[in-house]
Structure formats: structure tokens, C-alpha cells
Amino acid sequence: MSEAPVIELCDVTVVFNEGTPNEVVALNSISLSFAKGETVMITGGNGSGKTTLLRAIAGTAPLKRGSVHLCGRDVTKWAPHRRARFMSYVYQDATLGTCPNLTVYENLRLATRQPWWSLAPQALSISASQLDLLEKTGLPLAAKAAAPVSVLSGGQRQALSLVLAYSQKQPIVLLDEFTSALDESVEANMMRFLRTTTEENSHTTLAVTHSPEAISEIASRRVHLNMGRVRND
Amino acid sequence: MTIPGILDTACQQGFLYAIAVFGIVITLRMLNWPDLTVEGSFTLGAAVLAITLKNGYSPWLAMLLSAMAGFAAGTATFALNRKLGISKILSGILVMLILYSVNLRIMGRANISLLRIPTLFSAFDSSGIGDPVRLAVFLAIAVAFLLGLCYLMATRIGLFLRATGDNEFMVQSHGVNTSLLFLIGLGMSNALVAVSGALVAQNQGFADIGMGTGMIITGIAALIIGETLFSGLVSLKKAFVRRSPDKEFARTKGIHLLPWQSFGELSAALLGAFLYFLIIAICLRVGLAPTDLRLATGILVILGIAFRLKGPTVETYMRGKL
């Protein structure tokens, strides 16, 4: 018997500005499922619905019709923060994925899997697994643990976002054009990071990208969207 | 007023108002929420305390009720913003406005005298204990609140509170309901302000409907003065003290970072509250009319902000000298 999918979208339709002259059907009756450990590349032109697909899974794009199941649970009516217990999200804009006025260390503490309401004092060191992830980025992030995130470069911030996403050890990782603002050397670092982390773990990773060649070597499947519909799978 | 008299006034007021400034630090600096509710919750704390004491209850119970009333005021502001979608500023203004009438309802009149009613500070009056002990107790109260808040901010919930003001979106993506964190933060902030109001009322011997007016600008002035001076001291330390490689290594491992992040902000608030009331006492001593104090406070805030934005830092000054 095959394993139940980690992500299951049934007849998902997302419409923005409904009933106005600016109405846009961002996703049109999409039905997709993703298995455990799959690394899927989501491609398509501008406005094809790639980011909306991730947002529909994360719960930040309201569904007009359809349902979303994560890890076997119907989460269609769940708020984004509840769904986030199953997933990590890395945004195209690195500023969205980190707290700029907190230090690198404090950002890393946020991503540990402990209840947020704990009144116990925080551990005063970075965990070994997080240090390992920091080293895998190939950037000197560990040496900047005490610095506020606002002083990091864009590439370093995006690398930190990736580390935060993977250190949460969630079953699902959503990557939204996370290399689009990076130069070639940093992008190569990020790809090396992704390759080693996906090999070592069994996350289901959905990566939206405009440059399929960069991610093709780690992706096991490609979903191509056009005008809110699946064209190739 | 003599110099010891000026210092005495500055310490008494500064230490008790510092607790309210801690509350303002939580909303303004940590939650990034300029909360005007404090203008009403300061008086609310004093009003609840006065009426509870007037009815013969224990001062400790009165303090607890004041804190709870303050928390409720913060909750009201939270509900207006998060549940009805009213802007943060307007939510605070509306609750402040409503609290004026509520406070009058609670007190029954504009002023309640606490003379000959047992308060937390009655021991100082009846046993003839002098002002130095009273000041030491006030300082101890302020420091106890400071250390308690430092501890809280070093815990996971404190870290998430600060992160919520910094990037709410990111905190949500960690699976945390940020509305709950805003509720806790706003409630706690207004509870602290109400406790400060209750302590000030006991110290001055009366609760008055107008005692919270200008609280937000007093708090901001204290904060700006404290932060300006504190950042100056930190830069001075940086200019003279070179960090050893070993300490650098310790820092990279995150050692000793968390507990001190908020300590700086909160210590600056305590220092600023004392200095603010010292400056006000000096202004009165040199003959400034009490009616001009708002003008003096406004100018003080402008000068503080201008100095921080445009003035030379200690580091750049020292670099030029050394």
C-alpha cells in the first residue's frame, strides 16, 4: 500500500479581486499531491500561479473552492499560523523571513521546536544541529551570531532564512524563488546547502523557480503552471 | 528647592514613573505599537487603588486590582485593533477617551485624598523613617521590576514578544498566534503603567483624574533621554575597550547574549525616568512656571531625538581625538 501524500490539493481555486474589473483567477481547479521526501520544482511564467500555489498551501491565499490536506489532515479552514506547524516557508524577499532587529542567534532560537509560551530561560548557545546548518551555507554566519540581522547582506539573510526553515524540522518546506535576488556564488552555496540537507532528511520540498536549470539536479519532479492550471507534471 | 530636595523629588518620581516607562518600552520598542492607552491606564491604576483603599481593603489587594484593571485596558485596545480593525493609534486614543469617563465613574469625583488611609508607604509616615529609606525602597521596587522584566524577555515567550514587534509575519510562520502575543504585551504594558499610577498615588497621597495626562510624552521623553545617554555610554565603552579574541569566540557561540538584550533598553528607561524628573525639578528650581513644563518636555524630546539623529557619537569623537 502506498504512503498517504504529505500535501494534497483537491480542486483548489483562488480568485483575487472577485467581482471587480480586476478579477484574476490565480489558480483554476488545481488538484495535486506530493509524497514524503519529494523535491518538486514548480515552474511557469509570471502570473502563472506559482507563488499563489504555495500561498494556498500556507493558508495566506483564501480559497474560493477546493480543499487542502497536510499530513493527512484537512487544513482548509485553518489559520496560517496553525498550518505553519507542518511547514517552513522561505520567501523571495529575505527581509520577510528574518527579524532584522534581533541578532542572528536570537533568530535561530526562534526556530527551535519548543513551545513559545515557555518561561524557562533560553539556552545560551546555538544548538549543534543549527551550527551544522550554518556551516553548510558556506557563509560566515556563525561568526556573526551576536550581530543584528539588519547588518547582514541580502545573501547572508537569505541563507539564514534557509537555515531557519530547515532547523524547524517540519515535514514540508516551501521555497518561493529564494535565489532570485542572489548572485551566482551565493546561489551556488544555497544549492549545495539544499542538496546536502534534502539528501539527509525526508522533507517534502516545493521550490518555485524561474531558473529550472539551477534546481533541476536536486528536483525529482517538475510541475509546470500556466494561467493558473497545471500544464505539465 | 535645595539641591538635596531636587534630587529627592527626582528620585521619588523617577523610580516610581520608571515602572510606567517599562510598560511603554514593551509597547513602543518591543511590540512596535505606539499605545496611547497609557494616558488612561495610569489614572485607572490610581483610581482603582484609591477606591479600594477607601473601602477599607488591603493595599496589596488594591495593587493587584489596579494591575488587573490596567491589563483589561490593554485588552480593550487590543480588541479594537485586532478584532474590529481600527488602527493602532486610534484604538489607543479611543480607549484613553473612554477611560476618562470610566475613571471618573470609579472615583465618583475628580480627586480622592489618601491621607489617613493605610497605604503601602504608610510605614514611612508613622514610624518616622526618613526619606533615604523611602528612596531606597522605591529604587528597590524599580530594580525588582527591571530584573523581572529582563528575566521575562530572556525566556522564549519574551523572545517571541520582541520578535512579534520586529516581524509579525515571520513569527506567524513559526506557527505562533501573534494576536495572543500582542494581547499579552499590551495587557502587561498597561498593567505596569497602572501599577505605576497606583504607586504614585500612594506616594503623593491622592488620586486625581488628571494625573495620567501627558503620560505618553513623559514616558517617551524619559526613554529618549535614557537611550541617548545609554548608547553614549556603550559607544564610550566600545571606544576604549578592545574585545579580546576569546570573548569574541564566546560571543559567536551566543553566550551571555540574550539576558542583556533587554537589560540595556530597560536600564535606559530607568535612568531616563530619573533624569527626566531631575531636569523638570531643575526647571522649576530656576523659575520655570509649572504651566511651561509641557513646553520644556517637548523641547527635551526634540533635542534628544535630534542629538541621536544628527549629533556626533562618542565613537566618532574619540576616533578624532585618539
Q: Do B170 and A81 touch (CB under 8 A)?
A: no
Give me the residues of B, 128-167, that contact A with CB < 8 A.
151-152, 154-157, 159-160, 162-163, 166-167
Whether the Cβ atoms of residue B150 and residue B143 lie closer than 8 Å to each other: no
Does residue B296 surpass a pLDDT of 90? no
Cell numbers for B52, please give them.
Answer: 479600594
Instruction: Name the grid cell of B302.
Output: 526634540
Cα(A134)–Cα(A112) distance, rounded to whole angstroms? 14
Residue contact A96–B177, C-beta within 8 A: no
For CA atoms A206, A208, A211, A212, give the dihedral sign.
Answer: positive
Averaged pLDDT for residues A122-132: 75
Backbone angles phi, psi at A127, to 5 degrees: -70, 155
Of the candidates A133, A120, A96, the one whose C-alpha atom is nearest the C-alpha of residue B171 is: A96
In this structure, of A208-217, A224-233, B7-16, the range with the lowest mean pLDDT score is A208-217
Tell me the C-alpha distance between A227 and A44, whole Å.
9
Cβ–Cβ of A125/B171 closer than 8 Å? no
pLDDT at A113 over 60: yes
When CB atoms are compared, the residue of A96, A103, A111 closest to B174 is A111
Confidence band, pLDDT 50/70/90 cuts, at residue B259: low
Classified as helix, coil or strand, B109 is coil
Contacts of B174 in chain A (CB under 8 A): 84, 110-111, 116, 168
Q: How high is the pLDDT of residue A140?
A: 80
Determine the average pLDDT of the residues in A115-129.
76
Long-range contacts of B143-151 (CB under 8 A, 24+ apart): B143/B270, B145/B18, B145/B19, B145/B22, B145/B192, B146/B18, B146/B22, B146/B263, B146/B266, B146/B267, B146/B270, B149/B22, B149/B26, B149/B262, B149/B266, B150/B259, B150/B262, B150/B263, B150/B266, B151/A121, B151/B259
Which residue among A88, A110, A125 places its CB closest to the CB of B254?
A: A125
Least confident of A76-85, A175-184, B69-78, B105-114: A175-184
CB B135 within 8 A of CB B11: yes
Please name which of A97, A111, A102, A108 lies closest in space to residue A181, comparing C-alpha atoms: A97
Mean pLDDT of B275-289: 89
Q: Phi-psi bin for B95: left (phi > 0), alpha (psi -120 to 50), beta?
A: alpha
Cβ of A98 and B167 within 8 Å?
Answer: yes
Grade residue A58 by pLDDT with cuts at 50, 70 and 90.
Answer: very high
Give the residue among B25, B1, B8, B3 at the shortest CA–CA distance from B270: B25
The C-alpha of A165 sits at a distance from chain B's nearest C-alpha, in angstroms, of: 9
Q: Which residue of A has its CA nearest to B245?
A: A143
CA distance B320 to B1: 41
Q: Indicate if the alpha-carbon torsion angle B69, B74, B79, B84 is positive or negative.
A: positive
Tell whether the torsion through CA atoms of B247, B252, B257 and B261 is positive or negative. Answer: positive
What is the band of B254 on the pLDDT scale with cuts at 50, 70, 90?
A: very low
Whether the pLDDT of residue A218 is over 80: the answer is no
Three cell numbers, residue A208: 518555485
Q: Does residue B162 surpass a pLDDT of 80?
A: yes
B266 DSSP assignment: H
Torsion sign (Cα): B233, B239, B241, B245? positive
- Most confident range (mean pLDDT) of A35-39, A187-191, B248-252 is A35-39
Q: Which residues of A31-70 are buried (b: 16+ CB within 10 A; e: fewer)?
A: ebebeeebbbbbbbeeebbbbbbbbbbbbbbebeebebbb
CB contact under 8 A, A125 and B163: no
Bridge partners (DSSP) of residue B176 are: none
Residues 234-263 of B with CB under 8 A from A: 251-259, 261
**Rounded-to-integer distance, Cα B143 and Cα A2, Å:** 62
At A140-181, the pLDDT tens digits run: 888 888 788 888 888 888 889 888 888 888 889 999 888 776
Residue B255 in this model has a pLDDT that exceeds 60: no
Tens-digit pLDDT profile for residues B202-249: 999 999 999 998 899 899 999 888 888 877 666 555 555 544 444 444
**pLDDT over 90, % of chain B:** 53
> Where do runs of H (alpha helix) occur along B116-177?
122-126, 131-154, 156-166, 168-172
Of the candidates B192, B183, B140, B145, the residue with the CA atom closest to the CA atom of residue B161 = B183
> What's the one-letter identity of residue B139?
L
d(CA A12, CA A64): 8
* Mean pLDDT, chain A, integer: 85
Chain A residues with CB under 8 Å of B254 CB are 105, 108, 124-126, 145-146
The rounded distance, in Å, linking the Cα atoms of B182 and B82 is 9
Distance from CA of B178 to the nearest CA of A (A): 8
Cell of A177: 524563488
Give dist(CA A98, CA A103) in Å, integer: 10
Determine the residue type at B48: V
- CA of A131: which chain B residue's CA is closest? B253
A143 interfaces chain B, CB cutoff of 8 Å = yes
- Could you read off the pLDDT of B84-113 as tens digits, one per residue? 999 999 999 999 999 999 999 999 999 999
Which one of A91, A95, A116, A158 makes the best mutation probe of the B interface by having the most chain B beta carbons within 10 Å? Answer: A116
Phi-psi region of A72 (alpha: psi -120 to 50; beta: other; left: phi over 0): left
Distance from CA of A209 to the nearest CA of B (A): 21
Q: Given an 8 Å threshold on Cβ–Cβ distance, is A126 in contact with B253?
A: yes
By C-alpha distance, the chain B residue nearest A166 is B174
The mean pLDDT value of chain B amounts to 85
Q: Least CB-CB distance to B167: which of A99, A122, A125?
A: A99
Grid coordinates of A210: 524561474
Q: What's the pLDDT at B86?
A: 96
Q: Residue A139: its pLDDT value, please?
A: 80
Q: Is the pLDDT of residue A200 over 80?
A: no
Tell me if chain B has a CB within 8 Å of the CB of A118.
yes
C-alpha distances out from residue A224 to A14, A31, B68, B113, Å: 17, 13, 56, 76
Residue A124 pLDDT grade (very low, low, confident, very high; cuts 50, 70, 90) = low
Tell me the pLDDT tens digit for each residue of A14-25.
Answer: 999 988 888 999
On whether any CB of chain A is under 8 Å from the CB of B174, the answer is yes
Cell of B8: 529627592
